[in-house]
Amino acid sequence: MSDPSLQKLSDLPIGATAVVHSLQSGLPSLTRLREFGLLPGVRVQLIRKAPLGDPMEISVRGSLLSVRKTEAEAIEVMVTEDSK
């Protein structure tokens, strides 16, 4: 991550919204998340995290998805102004 305004989805605080910037390629689980609509340019919100931080629940296009921490670490997002 070279852009300082980008961060990993796994680093978002609960309740924050962000826009997906990029997803790593080559991970089959991320391919599945793309099929569910998690694509660059899409707004996501972190709803909650399990007590140990894995998995986490995100809202994407009106659906709730559970994402493993390893998957969330492979997704770069840009935090939106309304969640700061």
User: In terms of C-beta density within 10 A (0-12 exposed, 13-18 middle, 19 or more buried), how is residue 53 classed?
Assistant: exposed
**Domain membership flag for residue 56:** yes
For the chain, how many residues are written? 84
Confidence label for 83 from pLDDT (cuts 50, 70 and 90)? low
Per-residue pLDDT of 43-63, as tens digits, reads 999 999 999 888 999 999 999
**Domain membership flag for residue 25:** yes
Q: pTM for this structure? A: 0.84
Q: In total, how many domains does the chain have?
A: 1
CATH code, domain carrying 70: 2.30.30.90
Distances 38 to 19, 33, 51, 52, 56 between C-alpha atoms, Å: 10, 6, 24, 24, 14
Confidence label for 1 from pLDDT (cuts 50, 70 and 90)? very low
